[in-house]
Amino acid sequence: MRIGVPKEIKNHEYRVGLTPASVRELTGSGHQVLVQAGAGAAIGLDDAQYLAAGATLAQDAAEVFAQAEMIVKVKEPQPSECALLRPGQILYTYLHLAPDPAQTAALVRSGAICIAYETITGPGGGLPLLAPMSEVAGRMAIQAGAVYLEKSKGGMGVLLGGVPGVPAAHVVVLGAGVVGTNALQMAVGLGARVTVLDKNVDRLRQLDLVFGNRIHTVFSTAHSVEAAVLDADLVVGGVLIPGAAAPKLVTRDMIARMKPGAVVVDVAIDQGGCFETSRPTTHADPVFVVDGVVHYCVANMPGAVARTSTFALNNATITHALALAGKGWKQALRDNIHLRNGLNVAEGQVTFEAVARDLGYAYVSAESLL
């Protein structure tokens, strides 16, 4: 199969779909890989490394899309990229369709086979292609929150870990999944007072066994979320319903009653966000203020640490890329139910139930197309 890797064009997005090591895996299996010139240059992966791994270079994205049978990316295709997709072409990337009707419509029109990293499941449960970026985003959420708590950045002027004689900041983490766990690890390490909320008591029990009295675990209800948020200096939103829009756990009224200069970091913004006041931002303009509360809602947070993120992502994506290239999409999806769960749009149909429900499309099962 001929596989194409375009340069990412989203604001301040420097990750790349395939590393030279991943290219070598594919070319070693008999596939051709076409990489847009300069696709990895910003993170130290120069064209010479791709050539040495067996890739050929394309001068622009149009050439990549025109020649490739499968496109491997990181972020969802931008409108100019959607226009380059064609019927039957495989698109393998993050999509986050539920909060993005325009992209969904464009992919439906394209007739392409669109497989989303974030809905591919794992044998032991979980979302293994989403997990590495969730780990990065969870850790970054605390770094970003600590910065924007500084007075010069619009925050209340609080040091996350405090100092002797002065209380540490209160960090509230909504969701005890991969994002939440990595966020609380960082927050605990910096000496913050940490509260984590989740509806899964078994998960809270696991965290209690690991962290003991260094964190407070609370069962998530509307009442407990409100109480925690109103006492918080920093709130990290890390809730997820796979493939669907994120639930709005924090209302506009709660935001209005938070401490002036408090910070919220909405890691769920890719799926629409879990704060009613959230809207997507970029690394170029990452924050806005609502009712005195600083909102950090960057939709591609891991792009800020693009080299780390690229290698972590490729570790998770290469196995399925090899299967898709080696077997073709239909056979690969027949053989692996977990990869099949990644099919969101195919041949003009929406094949992921939560996306169809949230955006008003007729749902067509992946199995019916195989």
Counted residue by residue, the chain has a size of 370
96 part of the active site: yes
Q: Is 12 a catalytic residue?
A: no
| 216 vs 230: CA distance, rounded Å | 16
Partnered with residue 194 across adjacent β-strands are 171, 215
Residue type present at position 78: Q
Going by C-alpha positions, the residue among 311, 347, 272 that lies closest to residue 91 is 347
Tokens of 302: 């891991």
In the set 100, 233, 266, 270, the catalytic residue is: 270
* φ/ψ of residue 50, rounded to 5: -70, -40
Task: In whole angstroms, give the CA distance from residue 223 to residue 220.
Answer: 8
CB atoms within 10 A of CB 105: 15
For residues 258 and 230, the answer to whether their CB atoms sit within 8 Å is: yes
**Catalytic position from the list 96, 170, 295, 320:** 96
User: Considering only CA atoms, which of 88, 110, 121, 235 is closest in space to residue 172?
Assistant: 235
Which residues are designated catalytic? Answer: 96, 270
